Structure 1
Amino acid sequence: MTARWLRFAAIAAASLALLSRPAAAQQILRDAETEAFMADMSAPLVQAAGMEPRNVQVLVINDPNINAFVAGGQYVWVHSGLIAAADNVNQVQGVVAHELGHIEGGHVIRYGEGMKEATGITLLSLVLGAAAIAAGGAEAGMGILGMGQQAAMGKFLAFSRAQESSADLAGARYLSKAGVSGKGSLEFFKKLQNQEYRLAIPQDDSYGRTHPLSGERINVLREVYTVDPAWDKPMDPKLEARFERIKAKLVGFVSEPSQTLLKYPESDQSLPAHYARAYAWHKSAYPDKALAEVDALLAAAPHDPYFLELKGQVLLESGKPADAIPPLREAVQLTNQPLIATLLGHALIATENDANFAEAEKVLRNAIARDRENPFAWYQLGVVYEHRGDLPRAALATAERYSMMGEDQMALRSADAAMQGLKPGTVDYLRAQDIAMVSRAAVEQKRKKR
């Protein structure tokens, strides 16, 4: 897992699902356990920043680079590569605190201010340069143009560095207020500094960069963090244990199985290692080995909802949907998580047993009520409607799905088809009408651009 234009990738029904966001050309990893962990980990920081935790989401993107960013709204996007590179939960908290500083500072909105100033310098240099050229001073005119572009870029880069420094200090303030140590923040900046060394980035001057050099940031923040009362406060052991699980899970899902098995060899009998290997074996199409790892997890924690979810996923995607239903039912009962409920709905439908379709509709409708922005849930609900002969609502579910995926033409066709069979004035009819109106406007806009 918010504004998500999502579509499921090859492993569409996976509990750890890979989704694409066409607008940002990014792939979002949606997973019930990961999203719950990110929410709990960041909640004290969000509150310290004066924001409401339920309105802020920290989501993971499938990208091996060490990065995190904000891009509008109250959403923090963290790359899977950053989680894999982090040594502990405190380091991730430091990064999230920094990104919250960008949100509180309105830096995405103010980005236009920096661009405006830089553009003003560029336009002025164009006017002066053109005047010089017209007066016969071609060489002088070209010099003015070149200096103007350089000055504009320098102005914008300085603006960007100022925003980054502001977010650093804001993040330090949130960590302090939340009673979270800044050690992880400094440790992570040191990781970035080592990366800069490997890339042979000069360490004497940050001019010409969008971010201050990591060494500069470390020197400033060290003075702030080391005198803070929370500096020597230990990490929450339960939160750290959850982080180790999440990290192993992500590594198992996004990495090549051979790499996962090197990082988490059979000799490692810890819960995170079993977790990572379960995904590695499942990706390699060895369901028996994957289930053996899951059973080891359940032997240690028989009613852990996320271990039950994984068992259901492996069974479902190994062609045993009926066997997947009991563990998934229990996982839904324990968590009420819409992503897990969607997986249960898929398993019920995949049995092709008519007796299971009523339950599938119930769990899918409940899942969508709590998370409307899950295209795969809409797809499954459409299958249920079509199975019972309710073609207008099947078309409406399809319209919802295509609308989230950014497929405006298909969303429009499906919404129009839904309205043909729905009673005017009903909630479903009005929803189909809304999708049709928005999709039609988007289609017309694309047509004008072409």
Structure 2
Amino acid sequence: MSFSEFNALYVWGWPFIILLFILGLTITVVFGGIQFKYFFTSWKYVLFPPKVTCDTLCPENQTISPLQAFLGMISASLGNGSLAGMAVAMHSGGPGAGFWLLVFGLLAMPMRFLEVLAASVFTIETEHGRRGGPMVYLARVFGGSWLPYAYAGACLLYCLFAAGSMQGNSMATGLTAATGINEISVALMLLLFLAYAFFGGSQRIIKLSETLAPLKVGLFMLATGAVLITFAPNFLPALKLIVTSAFSTTAVAGGFAGHIMQRAISLGASRIFLATEAGGGTAAIMFGATGGTNPRENSIMSMALVFTTQLVCFCMFLMFTMSGTWNSGLTSTPLVMSTYATVFGRLGSAVALVLSIMFGLGVLVGYAFIGRECWLFLTRGKIGEWGFMLLYSAMAAFGALGDTSFVFAFVDLSQAAIILINLYGLVYLMPSLKRVWNELNA
């Protein structure tokens, strides 16, 4: 049994999937359908965010809004997990994974809401400024003496593999396929880019996130929109294929022999949680760095992050099925390239390559901040940031040289760990957070 098959059957098997479904549904009920009730309000806060006074993230006399945290998480979550990750899900789980991606995406929104609310409500003063996040609110639950450290350790591993290794792997795969550049050269280029980001400190990391986020979203919309418009007559047949495959208990036609309904659900659930980061606490770390201001606005606005990523991921599934490349036997970045090539021809590889690089660099930058926070918490500043810089850069280089299936499988494993720890804390604190929410809306 391969590592990826073990993850699908046991780590992301029925027990864990059912647990996520129940928790997402429970939060939805307790908070009155929060993702539906405040859907448009979340976008109002994105477009017209309240301003707060900056802490250590930027110089004095400069202001920062939760929009910076939003853009930082857009940069961190919209990565190759939304591109190559969807291609891997399509290859391994078939079109039906796209349906379950939508279902679990709706249930991921209230999880994101709750974790950001907790990060904004429960804050402490640290030497790096006022902070919130899982390492803070997990200290308030049963097992709080060790859970914050367990979470920080698991999250650090997740940052190293999901951001460092996975993004490096996807970018190297694309660059090698399109240009013939060897993986060692890609690894060296990643090391140089990360050195530039790190030596500028947290301020440069935040600025890079703000710059990359709108650029890569805009390019994705233009490129993917062109494919969807070109194959518009195939829209309804593609939707039908996605829905029917989601409930199929027989093998999917065309290169997917042996993949059944559980595989589609497992891949749909794991990939949307990987792409959105909902429930894992990473957004709570980012929003917790705003200093705990505007907990109501922060938590509502954060749900727009999940919808944005969910829309990107489902568009990828539509693009694969509408263009007919879904059963080509390709996976990861090569499948993305072949799909764009159906419209852009030889330029398709270049389009996919630019997207892969922009998405990958955005995640590398965004998770540099998140991983840095975990590193500082675990080491208590005794081992300087240089230690994290070296480790993070090494993992990005390792990903460029590593095996695709191994990298994605380890990401699934570490992601499941941070989700379990974080959701335990959120469920424990839910009564308190419900009272706080009622007071904020009184």
Pairwise TM-score range, normalised by the shorter structure: under 0.3
Per residue, is there more helix in 1 or in 2? 2
Alignment TM-score, normalising by the size of structure 1: 0.22
Alignment TM-score, normalising by the size of structure 2: 0.22
Q: Which has the larger radius of gyration?
A: 1
Higher RCO, Cα 8 Å, sep 6+: 2
